Structure formats: structure tokens, C-alpha cells
């Protein structure tokens, strides 16, 4: 204030002096009071502008960032993506049991659950949402610990869950296939019910000894070429022929006794006319 007064007086002295100089130099010229008033007013205007107090215009307007808004006059910026009272838009509040997520109200699920398609599910064991919403386990698989796995007691062989204890294509392990007339029993290839295990070199095969011409009645018993079939474990010869057990032949019943000798059971000419059945 003192500084302002000093400057004002200094300017007035300068102005008055400037106006008085002509009068002092020319005593006959009257003093111009109007000029002094004009100069004084000009000095006041200059001083007023130079020393005017700054106008308090208040704080700068609040500018919210992208995805947020100022929803209350005296409030700050809120996130429209996550604010439960302003979800997606100002004054859009989420109802009880829901929360704001990505600008929309979603169900609030208990710990260990997640909201998928409007319902709460356990991602740890839900086969339609396994580990994440929309992850569906393939047929035969179950969801366990958030991953699609084969049920207990089965293994994954080429994308298919199989029981290695009973699956003939994966017996005991993936890719181990059982042979014809074999079944997988306890993880091992064994002969199926109604068949007999016959050795074949270092391996074996399973067959029905009641019908197999190569193992008719027992393993290794091969019917003669003339016997076209094995019925109930016995080689069957054509009509007018009888199977000779001891010689493993089909003998003509019209043969001589010498030719029929050695057959078990014995075949004689009295059997002539039999149909061989």
C-alpha cells in the first residue's frame, strides 16, 4: 500500500510539474487546472491497472480421464467400468448380490466360484467351464483341478479315455492290442470265454476247439483235408466216409478190412451205408 501511494504521488508530482513549467517560463500565461486534472486522472488509471489485485476465479474445472466421469457436483472422478453406484453410466447402481465389472453389473459369486453366463460355477470341476468360462471337456473327460482329465481308473489314449484293464485295443497300456478271440482281463490279453489258449511258438492264440478244424477237440488237432468241418470237437467226413481217429483220416466205408484197420473206434464193413455224420 505504501509503495502504491509513493508511486501515485510521484506520478502526480511529475504531471503537475510538467503542467507548471510553461507557467513558470511565461508568467503571463494562466495556470491550466483542467490539464492538471486530466493528467491526474490518467495517472490514477495507470496506477490502478498496474497495482490491481488479481481476481480469484476459483479452482480450474475438473477434467476426468477416459472411462471415468464426474457424477456428483462436489465429487471426484469415478470409473464407470467398476463403480457399483455408477456402473456404465452415472447413477446406474448395481443391485445387491452383483458388482460392476467392465461397465456392467455381474453376479457376485462365492469364493472358488466364477460368473459364467449369468450363473456361478466352480471352474475347478465344471466340465462346461473347466478352468475358464466356456472351456468344455470332451466326451468321456471330467474336469478336475481346473483341467480336463480322464476319470479315475482310465487313461488318455489318443484323446480318448479308456480302461486299460479291459480295453482290448489298449490292454495294460496305450496301443497294446489283443489278438483275435482275445479279451483284455486285468490289463492282460487272455482268451475270451468259450475259447481255449493254444500255444503258437513263443506266443499263443485263442480258439474254439468245438468248431476250429485246426484245433478240433484240442489244441494242435488238425482235421484231415477231406474233413471239411469240426462239429462239437469232432472232425466230420463226407458221406460214406468215417473219420479214423487213430490214423486221422477219412476212410471209405467200402474199403477192405486191412484198409480200415487201426481206426479208433474200429470201423468195419458193417458200417457201410452210414452217412458219415
What's the CA gap between 175 and 207, in Å, rounded? 23
Compute CA distances 186 → 105, 166, 175, 273, whole Å: 54, 6, 16, 53
Same domain, 195 and 173: yes
174, pLDDT greater than 90: yes
Q: Which three cell numbers stand for residue 115?
A: 460368473
* pLDDT band of 55, cuts 50, 70, 90: low
Report yes or no on 56 lying in a domain.
no
The secondary structure element, H or E, covering residue 46 is helix 33-50
Please count the structural domains in the chain. Answer: 3
- Give the pLDDT of residue 264: 64
10, pLDDT greater than 60: no
* pLDDT average, residue stretch 6-24: 51
pLDDT digits (tens, 9 = 90+) for 80-130: 898 989 999 989 998 877 888 899 888 788 888 888 887 889 999 999 999
pLDDT digits (tens, 9 = 90+) for 138-149: 999 999 999 999
Same domain, 146 and 192: no
DSSP 8-state code for residue 62: P
For cell 479315475, what's the residue?
152
Report yes or no on 55 lying in a domain.
no
210, pLDDT greater than 90: yes
> Which residues on adjacent β-strands are paired with residue 185?
188
Same domain, 217 and 265: yes
Report yes or no on 105 lying in a domain.
no
DSSP 8-state code for residue 223: P
Same domain, 170 and 201: yes
pLDDT digits (tens, 9 = 90+) for 35-51: 667 666 766 666 666 66
253, pLDDT greater than 50: yes
Report yes or no on 135 lying in a domain.
yes
DSSP 8-state code for residue 181: T
Report yes or no on 4 lying in a domain.
no
Q: Does 34 or 72 have the greater pLDDT score?
A: 72
Which range is most confident: 29-33, 87-91, 116-120, 271-275?
A: 87-91
Determine the straight-line distance between the first and last CA of the chain, rounded to whole angstroms: 145
For cell 450363473, what's the residue?
119
Burial of 105 (0-12, 13-18, 19+ CB in 10 A): middle
What mean pLDDT is reported for the chain?
A: 80
Q: What percent of the chain has pLDDT over 70?
A: 73
Report yes or no on 198 lying in a domain.
yes
* pLDDT average, residue stretch 231-239: 91
Phi, psi (deg, nearest 5) at residue 61? -60, 145
Same domain, 175 and 195: yes
Question: Full-prediction pTM beyond 0.75?
Answer: no
Q: Which domain holds residue 183?
A: 165-206
Report yes or no on 133 lying in a domain.
yes
What's the CA gap between 101 and 36, in Å, rounded? 76
Are the beta carbons of 105 and 94 closer than 8 angstroms? yes
Report yes or no on 33 lying in a domain.
no
260, pLDDT greater than 70: yes
Amino acid at each position: 500500500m505504501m509503495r502504491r501511494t509513493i508511486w501515485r504521488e510521484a506520478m502526480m508530482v511529475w504531471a503537475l510539474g510538467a503542467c507548471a513549467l510553461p507557467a513558470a517560463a511565461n508568467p503571463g500565461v494562466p495556470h491550466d487546472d483542467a490539464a492538471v486534472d486530466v493528467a491526474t486522472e490518467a495517472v490514477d488509471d495507470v496506477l490502478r491497472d498496474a497495482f490491481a489485485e488479481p481476481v480469484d476465479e476459483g479452482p480450474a474445472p475438473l477434467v476426468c480421464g477416459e472411462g471415468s466421469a464426474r457424477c456428483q457436483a462436489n465429487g471426484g472422478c469415478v470409473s464407470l467400468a467398476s463403480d457399483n453406484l455408477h456402473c456404465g453410466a452415472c447413477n446406474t447402481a448395481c443391485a445387491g448380490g452383483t458388482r460392476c465389472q467392465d461397465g456392467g453389473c455381474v453376479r457376485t459369486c462365492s469364493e472358488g466360484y466364477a460368473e459364467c453366463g449369468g450363473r456361478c460355477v466352480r471352474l475347478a470341476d465344471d466340465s462346461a467351464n473347466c478352468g475358464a468360462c466356456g472351456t468344455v471337456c470332451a466326451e468321456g473327460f471330467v474336469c478336475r483341478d481346473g483341467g480336463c482329465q480322464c476319470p479315475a481308473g482310465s487313461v488318455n489314449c489318443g484323446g480318448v479315455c479308456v480302461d486299460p484293464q479291459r480295453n482290448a485295443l489298449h490292454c495294460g497300456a496305450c496301443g497294446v492290442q489283443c489278438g483275435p478271440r482275445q479279451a483284455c482281463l486285468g490289463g492282460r490279453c487272455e482268451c475270451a470265454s468259450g475259447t481255449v489258449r493254444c500255444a503258437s511258438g513263443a506266443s499263443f492264440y485263442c480258439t474254439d476247439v468245438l468248431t476250429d478244424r485246426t484245433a478240433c477237440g484240442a489244441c494242435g488237432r488238425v482235421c484231415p483235408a477231406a474233413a471239411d468241418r469240426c462239429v462239437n470237437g469232432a472232425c466230420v467226413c463226407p458221406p460214406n466216409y468215417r473219420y479214423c481217429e487213430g490214423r486221422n483220416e477219412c476212410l471209405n466205408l467200402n474199403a477192405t478190412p486191412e484198409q480200415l484197420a487201426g481206426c479208433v473206434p474200429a470201423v468195419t464193413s458193417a458200417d457201410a451205408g452210414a452217412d458219415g455224420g
